[in-house]
Amino acid sequence: MPLFNRTATVTVGPRGADGVTIENLRIAFKVSKTLTPSTNSAQVEIYNANQKTRELLSEIGNLCVLKAGYKDQAGPAVLFIGDVTHTDQERRRPENLIKLECGDGEKTLRESLVSYSFAAGTDPRDILDAIAADMALTVRDVPDVTAEQYATGWQFAGPAKDALDLVCDRLGLEWSIQNDELQFVIDGETTGTEAILLSPTTGLIGSPRRNQDRNGIATAEGPPPGLIVECLLEPRLEPGGRVKIESAEYSGIYRIVTVEHKGDTHGKDWTSRAEVEEVA
C-alpha cells in the first residue's frame, strides 16, 4: 500500500460559518487523544500565512479542523476537530509562523450546565441523547443499554460532564469526546469498528514493545501492561477502536487506549503512536 505524498489541511473559523482553509503552506502538528473524558488536544503550526489569515487564525474560540493523509490514497482525512484555546505568533527568519493550541470539546465541557427531571421508566438512551443535545454534540453509536431503565426516574442539576459520569458509571460505559462527537464504549471493549491492520507492509515502524508506564511495572498478578506501537501516520487510529497487529513478536487484536499523531508537511515527522491493550 503506497504511503507517499503526504498532505495536510487546516480549516479555522466560527462554528456554523465558513472559515479559512490552509492547504498549500507548511503545516506541523501534534495531536493527543485518549479514551478518557480528558480533553483531547492538538498543537498546530502554520508557516508563512498572510496577515489577514493570521488575524483570523488568532481568534480564540474558533473551530479548528485538521486533516492529514496521503495524496496517493483518498487524500487528507480528519485527524482532529476542536476549539482554538490559545494562539501565538513567532518569527523564525526568514519564516513566520502562528501556533494554535486546541481542545476537542473544550468549550462545551467547560461551560455546559444541565438540569433534568426524568420520569420513572426512562430509557437511559433518552438521557444520553438529552445530555448530548444540551452539549451540542453528535452522538456516535451507543451500545444497547435499553434494558437498564431508570425505574424510579432520574434527577440532576450541574455540569454536563458530571451527568455523563453518573449515567455511564451506572451503565458500565466509558465516554469521551472524539472529533467533536460523543463516544460511548462498554468498559474494556471497543467501538466495534473494523480493525486496522498494522504490519511491516502497512506502515508499522519497528517492533511493538511492552508498555511499562501506563499501569506501572507489570507484575505476574496484575493486568498485562499492553503495547506501544508506532506506524506511519494513520488518521483512522482513534481511542476505542481496534488494531490487528502482525509482527514477528506479537499478533492479535488490540484495543486502542491512547493515540499521538505527529506530522510536518516539510519535515521528518509523519507518524502515529498508540498505546493498545489486548482484547479478551
Q: Which pLDDT score, from 0 to 100, does residue 145 have?
A: 79
Q: Is 129 left (phi over 0), alpha (psi -120 to 50) or beta?
A: alpha
Q: Omega into 76 within 30° of 0, i.e. cis?
A: no
Q: Which pLDDT score, from 0 to 100, does residue 225 have?
A: 63
CATH number of this structure's domain 196-278: 2.40.30
Q: Is 243 left (phi over 0), alpha (psi -120 to 50) or beta?
A: beta
Q: Is 136 left (phi over 0), alpha (psi -120 to 50) or beta?
A: left
Q: Where are the domains of the chain?
A: 6-107, 109-186, 196-278
In the chain (280 residues long), the average pLDDT of successive 10-residue segments reads 77 90 95 94 95 89 95 87 94 88 93 95 92 94 81 94 95 95 94 93 92 54 74 96 93 94 95 91
Angle of helix 124-134 relative to helix 160-171, nearest 10 degrees?
160
The CATH number of 109-186 is which of 3.40.50.2300, 3.40.50.1460, 3.55.50.30, 3.30.450.20?
Answer: 3.55.50.30
Q: Which pLDDT score, from 0 to 100, does residue 272 have?
A: 98
The CATH number of 6-107 is which of 3.90.550.10, 1.10.10.10, 2.30.300.10, 3.20.20.120?
Answer: 2.30.300.10
Q: Which pLDDT score, from 0 to 100, does residue 94 have?
A: 84
Q: Which pLDDT score, from 0 to 100, does residue 211 have?
A: 82
Characterize 2-36 residue by residue with b for buried, 16 or more Cβ atoms within 10 angstroms of its Cβ, and e for exposed.
ebeebbbbbbbbeeeeebeebeebbbbbbbbbbbe
Let me know if the fold of 6-107 is the same as that of 196-278: no
Cell 501492561 belongs to which residue? Answer: 225
Q: Which pLDDT score, from 0 to 100, does residue 223 have?
A: 52
CB-CB contact of 84 with 100 (8 Å): yes
